[in-house]
Structure formats: structure tokens, C-alpha cells
Structure 1
Amino acid sequence: MRIVKKILKFLAWFLGILLLLLLIFCVYVWKVSDVKPPAVQDRAVEALQRTQLDSTAYVLGNNWLRKSRYGLYEMYVSGGPFERGVINGKLSRELIVSQEIAFTHQIRKMIPSEGYLKFLKYVVGFMNRGLPEHVTDEYKLEIYGESLAASDSFKWIGSNYARQLNYHAAHDIGHALQNLMLVGCTSFGAWDTKTESGAMILGRNFDFWVGDEFAEHKIVSFVNPTTGHKFAYITWGGFVGVVSGMNDQGLTVTINAARSRIPFDAATPVSLVAREILQYAGNIKEAVAIAHKREMFVSESFLVGSAADHRSALIEKTPDTLAVYDPAADHIECTNHYQSDLLGAQKLNQEQMQGSASVYRYQRLQELLQQQYPLNPAKVAAILRDRKGLHDADIGNGNEKAVNQFIAHHSVIFMPDSLRMWVSTAPWQMGTYVCYDLRKVFAMQGLGTDHEVADTSLNIPPDPFLQTDEYARFLLFRKAKMNWMDKVKVGSGAFVSNNPEYYDAYRLEGDYQASLGNADRAVQYYKMALTKEIATVGERLAIEEKIRKINKAKAGK
């Protein structure tokens, strides 16, 4: 009896200590999740108010926001860090709110549990506990300024400032934790003999999808900071990081995700490293120096084009290593794996090359470039819009192995020597590519009237594919897929009949038949999927596992 009492007493003490430690940990997580905004010396800019020119244009001093007839929002912002942020917020507050609604709507669809969402709030806060230490004071002030325009409706996630700061690391967190490859992009550059004029030209697809709503309100932002270079980049409401941009020195930067380890602490978000490069680098050497001094917690490739150097290079960076890949040629290509001698043999990179769609897409990109040399903007657009597989094989519309995966948030073409860039319009990269001349935009003294600021005479027209029956059927397939993902009823044959060469159409049809209890038909569709061009090894293994499970269940009856 004494032994039992001692054991119970020990267990009581043990559980008490465990609960105390858990309480201390929870308090710690709550405290580190509560990010404090930076101190601001002069808040006079907060008193300024925007003036409405018409239903789609606002001005605030020399700063402005307008919606073009092509559906792109265009914004010009100038001044110091906090001033830029506040002006950004005042001009684009509706876009900031709608963007957060779109983002959180998709998150709620992915994670419908309120309790789990609250739990994840603190998990993300804990993972990002060191984030402010890795963001420069300039960018913290700018993010704080624009966060003042954010909606209080989302305080269940965190304070306005904490949310906006953390959103800049959202890509990094998601990509690193699950290697979701939400940013599985394609980019390339050419110059000298590989272009019609000898001038440098670069193209990129930013294949980033967090729901269709997220890509509805793209912003082409022109920034005139008090320090550094003037620059333009493609963004969305509330986001001051850079994924695709060019500065007034003719330096461009785009990012391509690589396979990463699971992080244990925060570091500088990739988009803010790219932003710093764009704002403060005038050539490749300066870009490398900036990338080298910033610690990151995911792996990424930065394709940097430089008018000053008349060439492009890849800055390949992991949390602990940096390498520069220079092809020593007049062209360069990048998908989602490293190419340098230093990082190419890395274990994670080899796994990425063997298991993902990256190498196949890289080979297809090279094939397309060989067909199109010498390049001009229209030819670059044709490459970025290409839907086929190697040797022009029909691999289905939406396949990750294609350059055009029909998920692009935006697509962009740069000509650094002339400071021109072409930005795609909906749908995906298939609509008009609108041309902007940075020299002309930055020479504007405010927006006196609401007028087009793009150089529309140089626009690239929409892809004729949009007028075809095949495109109409792809939209039907995609609608059925979205409905299926949202647990909305779909009809039999909605997948395969509308996208017959796409392996995922058969996988989806197999899942649909399995949900109805039609095991034999499900297996037939899964086996058909295996005969098509499957994007990744993981997806092939997942389909094979579905077949094994069904066969095992049938054998057990």
C-alpha cells in the first residue's frame, strides 16, 4: 500500500511539473508570437488623405494608384520607409483587405477547424519568433506603415503589424515545412547572339497558387525610395517583398524555390532579400554581396539580370551556403533545382532533381529556346505560354512538367537595356502582356488625370488558344476539380472527357469512382493515369498506393 501511495504521489508531482512546464511554454509562445511594431519618430504622414480622381484612380501628393483597362492595378509610391508604407496603405487599402480575405479564405478551406487554426497561429508565431531580428529596420517601418490600413477583422490571426510581417514569410514557412513547392517557377535569360537585337531579355513565370481569388488583384508597383534605386515589381496588396522586379539601373531579380530542410528558427524572408537586391544593387557583384550577408531559412535561386554587366547569373542560396552559377554563355535557364558545382551535388538537390518535375521542365525550356532563338518579347511570351511536354508531346493542360502550368500568379518579360517590362494579364499568362517603360513612368510628376501609363503600342496580344474548344474544355475540367476539392458534387466523366491526356484527370476520376464504392472502375482509372506523363515520383507512388489499398481490401473480403 505504501508503494502504491509513493507511486501515486510521484505521478502527481510528475503531472504537476509537466502541466507547469506546458503552461510556461504556452505563455512563452504567446509572448514571442506578439510582435511589437517598430518605433516611429515622425507620424505626420498619417494625417494625409488620398483624393479620388474617378472610380478607379486615387492620388496622394505625387503618389497614385489606378486600375488599367487591362485589369492591372498600377501604383507609384515615394518617400522614406514609414512614409512609403503609410502611403501604400492609404492608396491600396481595399486591395490589402481583399487580398487578406482571399488568403484567409483559402487557408480556411484547407484547414476548416477553428481550433486548429488558432493553434497554428501560435505555431507560426513561435516559428517566426526571431523574424523581426532578421528584417531590416527600413522594411519593418515600411511594413508597419502599410499595416495601418489592414482590417481589424483578422485579429484572430494576430495584430495588423504581426500579420503583415508574417505574411512576408508565408512562402518560406509553407515551402520549408512541407516542400509544397507553391513557388515552382520557370525563368530564363538571353543576350548577344541569342536575341534579335543583341540586347538582354529575360522571362519568368511566377507559378504561385493560393486560390484563384489571390491572383485577381495584381499590382504593378513603381517605387521611388529616399535611399537606393528606383524600381518596379509585380506584387499584391500589403506585400512589399519582391518576387519579380527591375530597377532603374537595369538590374532584374526573380526567385525560384529549391528543396529545403525543415527550419527550426526564422531568418530573412526570401522576398525581402530579393527586395534589398532590387533596391540597392546595380550589378551582379553587388547583388551577390547583399544575398551573402542575409541569412535565409529556405533554399532559393535568384536569377539576376544586369544591364551593367550585360549578362545574367544565378545566386543559389541555402540556409548555410551560397554559390553563384554563371553559365559562361549568352543564355541561362532556371527551374527548381541548383546547377552550380557547389550545390548541384547536394543531397536535397539530387532528390529534387530525381523526384520533381524540375528537370523535365528545364529540358523542355531548353528545347523551346533552341526553337525560338534569336529571341524577342513575342517569342519569349510564346515560350512562357507553352503547354506541351518534351518534343511537343501532349501531356494534358495543367501538367507541372509544362512551362505553362495554368497556375501562374503572373508572368513577366524584362529588357534591362531599354528598361522595359511586359506584365501578363488574366487568365494566367494567356492574356495581353502589357508593356511598361520605367523611364517614362518615373519621369511622371504625379497623376493629373486618370490615363494609361503603359506603352500600349508595344503590348503582346492574348494567346489565340483562349478562343479554342480545348481551352473551354480545360475550364470545365478545372471547375470540376475545384468543386471536387471543395467537396461539391461532380458528375461522372467530368475530368477525363475534358482533359484526356492529363494523368491527374484519371487520378481524379479514380478518386470519384472510389468514393462511390466502384472499386474496379477506380483501379481502371488509376492504371490509366500511370500510362500518362506523371509530374512527380511522389504522385506516381501515391496512385500506385491507391491501387494497392483497393486490391488489398478486395483480397480481404
Structure 2
Amino acid sequence: MRILKKILRFFAWFIGIILITVLIFCFYVWKVSDAKPPVVSDRSAEQLQRRNIDSTAFTIGNNWLRKNKYGLYEMYTSGTPFERGVINGKLSKELVVSQEEAFTHQIKKMIPSSSYLKFLKYIVGFMNRDLPAHVTEEYKEEIYGISLAASDSFQWIGTNYSRQLNYHAAHDIGHALQNLMLVGCTSFSAWDTKTENGALIVGRNFDFWVGDEFAKNKIVSFVAPSMGHKFAFVTWGGFIGVVSGMNDKGLSVTINAARSSIPTGAATPVSLVAREVLQYAGNIKEAVAIAHKRKMFVSESFLVASAADHKSVIIEKTPDTLAVYDPNKDNIECANHYQSDLFKTQKLNEEQMAGSASVYRFQRTQELLQQNYPLTPQKVANILRDYKGLGGADIGVGNEKAVNQFVAHHSVIFMPDSLRMWVSTSPWQMGAYVCYDLRKIFAMNGLHQDVEIADENLNIAPDTFLQSDVYRKFLLFRQTKMDWMDKLNINVNNFVQNDPQYYDAYRLTGDYYKAHKNYKAAIENYRIALTKEIATVKEREAIEDKIKECAKMSSNRK
């Protein structure tokens, strides 16, 4: 009996120690999950007031925000880091709030459990506990200034500043934890013999999707910082990181995700590395030096085009190592795998090349470029809009193997020599590409009336595909897919009838019949899907597993 009491006492102490350890850990995670804002000595910018020109155009001194007739928001900000952040937030406060609403709404759709969301909040907070140490004071102050305009409705996630800071690492964490590849971009550049008049030109699709609402309000942001170069980039409310941009020295930066391992600690978000390059580099050598000194969360490719060097290279960077890929010719292409000698035989890169859509899309890009040399802005737009497979094959509208996957947040064309950029308008990259001349924009002395600032005579017209029956059918297919994902009632025939060459139409039809226990029909559709051009090896394996599962369920019912 005495021995039993000792054993019970031991276990009581043991369990007590575990509980205390868990409580201490939970308290620690809670403490570190909310980042503290930077200390700002001059907060006079908070007293600035927004003036309305009309319902969609506002000014603060020489800074302004307006919505153009194509649906793009255009914003000009200047000043010190905190000052331009405050001005950004005051000008675009409705966009900051609506963007966070769209983002959190999509996250809740992806993770409907409120308890798991709270748990995930602390896990992300713990992973990002050292994030402030990897973000420069300049960018922390700018983000803090914007956060003052954020809504208090999202305090369940964190403080306004903590949320806005962590959103800059959201892509990196999601990408690394599950290799979600929410970003599967395509970019390319050409110059000299490959372009009209030898001009340097860049084309890119930013194929990033976290819900249609998230992509609704795009901002073309023009920034005149107190330090560094003036620059323009495509963004959204509250986000100062760069995914596509060009500065007034004729240096452009675009980013393409690569396969990554799970990070062991915080580092600088990719978009803030690209932002630093854009703001402080005037040539390729300076861009490489900036990228080299920053430790990153994930692996990424930076396509850097430089008017000063009259060429483009790809900076390939893992969390710890960097390589520069220069093909030593007058064209370069980038998908989602590495090409340099240092990284091309890396295990993760080989897995990416073998299992993803990256190599196929890369080859299709090369094929389209060969067919369109010498390049012009119009020809670049045509390539970025192409939805076919190799050799022009019909692989279904929306296939990840195509250059145009109909998921692009935005598409951009840069001409660094002339400081012109074209930004796509909805839907995806099929609407008009609006042309901006950075020299003219940065020469403006404020916005005194609501007028168009784009070089409209250089705009690229919407694609005629938008008037086609194929496009109309694709929209019906896509809406049915969205409804199915939201667990709404659908007409299952809308899948195959409206996108008959797309493997996913048959996969979705199979899923529908599987859910309704019609295993024979499910297997039939899954098998047809396997005869189509499937985007990734994992998707093919998932369909094969579903066939086995349906066959087993069908036999169990007999």
C-alpha cells in the first residue's frame, strides 16, 4: 500500500510538472505572438487629414489616391517611413480594412474550426516570434503607420500592428509549411536581338489566389521615399512588400516561388527583400548584394532587369545560400524551379521539376517566345494571356501547366529603358493593360483634380477571348467549382460540358459522384481524368488513390 501511494504521488508530481510546463509554454507563446510596435519619435503625421476630391479620389498634401476607370487604384505616397505609412493608411483605409476582411474570410473558409484558428494563431505567432528582428526599422515604422488605419474588428488575430507585420510573412509560412504553391508564377525577359529596337522588356504573371475578393482591389503604388530610389509596384491594401515593381533607375524586380523546406526560425519575408532591392539598388550588382545579406524564410527566384546593365538575371536564393543565374544570351525565362549550376541538382529542386507543373510551363513559355520574337508590349501581353499547352494543345482552360492559369492576381509588363510599365485589369490578365510612364508620374506635383494619369494611347486592349463562347463556358465551370467547394447544390454536368479537355472537370465530377456514393460513375470520371494533361504528379496520385478507394467501397457494398 505504501509503495502504491509513492507511485501515485510520483505520477501526481509528474503530471503536475507537465501541466506547469505546458502553461508556461502557452504563456510564453501568448506573450511573443503579438509584436510590439517600433518607437517613433516624430508622430506629427498622425494629425494629417485626408481631403476628398470626389468619392474615389483623395489627397493629403502632394500625396493622393484615386480609382481609375479601369478599376485599378492608383496611389502616390512620399516622406519618411512612419509619415508615408500614416499617409498610406489614411488614403487607403477602406482598402486596408476590406483587404483584411477578404483575407480572413478566405482563411475561415479554408479552416472553418474557430478553435483550430485560435491555435494556429499562436503557432504562427510562435514561428514569427523573432520576425521584428529580421525587418528593418524603416519598414517596421512604415507598417506601423499603416496599421493605425486597420480595423479593431480583428483583435482575435492580434494587435493591429502585429497583424499587419505578420501578413507580410503569410505567403512565406504557408508556402514553407505545406508547399501549398499558392504562387506558381511565370516571368521572362528579352533584349537586343529578341525585342523591337533592342529594348529591354519583362513580362510576368503573378499567379497567386486566396479568393476572388482578395484580388478585387489592386493598387498601383508610386512611392517617393525620403531615402533610396523612387519606385512603383503592384500591391493591395496594407501591404508594402514587393512582388512586381520597377524603380526610377530602370531596375525591375519580380518574384517566383521555389520549393522550400520547413523553416526553423524567423527570417526576412521574401517580399520585403524584393522591396529593399527595388528601393536601394540601381543595378544588378547592388541588387545581388542586398539579396545576399538577408536571410529568408523560403526559397525564391528574383528576376531582376536592369536598364543600367541592359540585361536581366535571376537571383536564386534559399534561406541560406544564393546563386545568380545568367544564361549569357539576350533572353531569360523563370517558372518555379532553379536553373543555376549550384541549385539545379538540389534534391528539393529536382523534386519540384519532376512533380510540379513548372517545367512544362517553362517549356511552353520558351515555345511562345520563339514564335513571337522580336518582342513588343503587345506580343508580351499575348504570351502572358496564352492558356494552351505545348504545341498549342487544348489542355483545358485553367490548367496550371498553362502560362495563363486564370488565377493571376495581376500581370505586368516592364520596359526599364523607357520607365514604362503596363498593369493588367480584370478579369485576370485578359482585361486592358494600363500603361504608366514613371517619369511623368513622379514629375506630378500632387493631384489637383480627378484625372486619368495613365498613358492611355499606349494601353493594350482587352483580349477578344472575353467575347468567346469558350470563355463564357469557363466562367460557368468555375462558378460551379466555387459552389461545390462551398458545399452548395450544383448541376454536376456543368463541369465536363463546359471544360471538356480539363482533367479537373472529370476529377470534380468524380468527387461529386463519390460523395453521393455512386462509385461506378466516380471511377469512370476519375479514369477519364487520368487520360488528360494533369498538372502535377501529386494530383495524378490523388486521383489514382480515389479510384482504389471507390473500388474498395463498391466491393464492400456487395
TM bucket (normalised to shorter chain) is over 0.9
TM-score (norm 1): 0.99
- 1:302-330 Cα offsets, whole Å, 9 max, x none, are 00000000000000000111000001000
Alignment correspondent of 2:331: 331
Instruction: Kindly indicate whether residue 313 of structure 2 is the aligned counterpart of residue 310 of structure 1.
Output: no
C-alpha distance in 2, partners of 1:64/1:333? 36
- 1:224-267 Cα offsets, whole Å, 9 max, x none, are 00100000000000000000000000000000000000112110
What amino acid does structure 2 have at the position aligned with 1:279?
Q
SS at match of 2:457: helix
C-alpha distance in 1, partners of 2:12/2:34? 33
C-alpha distance in 2, partners of 1:429/1:2? 78
The alpha-carbon deviation at position 147 of structure 1 amounts to: 0.4
Alignment correspondent of 1:138: 138
The alpha-carbon deviation at position 131 of structure 1 amounts to: 0.2
What amino acid does structure 1 have at the position aligned with 2:341?
D
- 1:37-93 Cα offsets, whole Å, 9 max, x none, are 000001111001010001110000000000000000000000000001000000000
C-alpha distance in 1, partners of 2:127/2:492? 43
How many aligned positions are there?
A: 557
C-alpha distance in 1, partners of 2:241/2:49? 25
- Runs of 4+ aligned residues of structure 1 deviating over 4 Å after TM superposition are none
Alignment correspondent of 2:206: 206
C-alpha distance in 2, partners of 1:492/1:303? 42
- 1:99-129 Cα offsets, whole Å, 9 max, x none, are 0000000001011111111111111100000
Alignment correspondent of 1:24: 24
The alpha-carbon deviation at position 350 of structure 1 amounts to: 0.3
What amino acid does structure 1 have at the position aligned with 2:240?
V
Say if 2:519 and 2:553, in contact at 8 Å, map to a contact too: no
SS at match of 1:49: coil
What amino acid does structure 2 have at the position aligned with 1:458?
L
C-alpha distance in 2, partners of 1:553/1:503? 23
C-alpha distance in 1, partners of 2:12/2:249? 68
C-alpha distance in 1, partners of 2:4/2:471? 74
Alignment correspondent of 1:164: 164
Alignment correspondent of 2:271: 271
What amino acid does structure 2 have at the position aligned with 1:220?
V
C-alpha distance in 2, partners of 1:318/1:420? 31
C-alpha distance in 2, partners of 1:104/1:136? 26
C-alpha distance in 2, partners of 1:187/1:212? 22
What amino acid does structure 2 have at the position aligned with 1:512?
Y
The alpha-carbon deviation at position 2 of structure 1 amounts to: 2.9
Alignment correspondent of 1:544: 544
Alignment correspondent of 2:45: 45
| Unpaired runs of at least 5, structure 2 | none
What amino acid does structure 2 have at the position aligned with 1:72?
L
SS at match of 1:212: coil
Alignment correspondent of 2:260: 260
The alpha-carbon deviation at position 34 of structure 1 amounts to: 1.9
C-alpha distance in 2, partners of 1:62/1:492? 54
C-alpha distance in 1, partners of 2:87/2:516? 54
Alignment correspondent of 2:77: 77
1:470-489 correspondence runs (5 A):
470-489=470-489
C-alpha distance in 1, partners of 2:494/2:454? 41
| Unpaired runs of at least 5, structure 1 | none
The alpha-carbon deviation at position 555 of structure 1 amounts to: 3.1
Counting aligned pairs with the same residue, the percent is 75
C-alpha distance in 2, partners of 1:73/1:26? 42
C-alpha distance in 1, partners of 2:318/2:130? 18
What amino acid does structure 2 have at the position aligned with 1:293?
K
Query: Pairwise CA RMSD of aligned residues?
Result: 0.6
Alignment correspondent of 1:192: 192
Alignment correspondent of 1:297: 297
C-alpha distance in 1, partners of 2:403/2:147? 35
- 1:251-289 Cα offsets, whole Å, 9 max, x none, are 000000000001121100000000000000000000000
- 1:373-418 Cα offsets, whole Å, 9 max, x none, are 0000000000000000000000001100000000000000000000
- 1:337-372 Cα offsets, whole Å, 9 max, x none, are 000000111000000000000000000000000000
C-alpha distance in 1, partners of 2:227/2:517? 64
What amino acid does structure 2 have at the position aligned with 1:396?
G
The alpha-carbon deviation at position 11 of structure 1 amounts to: 1.2
The alpha-carbon deviation at position 145 of structure 1 amounts to: 0.3
1:59-458 correspondence runs (5 A):
59-458=59-458
TM-score (norm 2): 0.99
C-alpha distance in 1, partners of 2:439/2:165? 31
C-alpha distance in 2, partners of 1:34/1:438? 38
The alpha-carbon deviation at position 5 of structure 1 amounts to: 2.1
SS at match of 2:494: coil
C-alpha distance in 2, partners of 1:229/1:136? 17
Alignment correspondent of 2:555: 555
Say if 2:335 and 2:358, in contact at 8 Å, map to a contact too: yes
- 1:498-540 Cα offsets, whole Å, 9 max, x none, are 1000000000000001111110000000000000000000000
Greater alpha carbon shift after TM alignment, 112-121 vs 547-556: 547-556
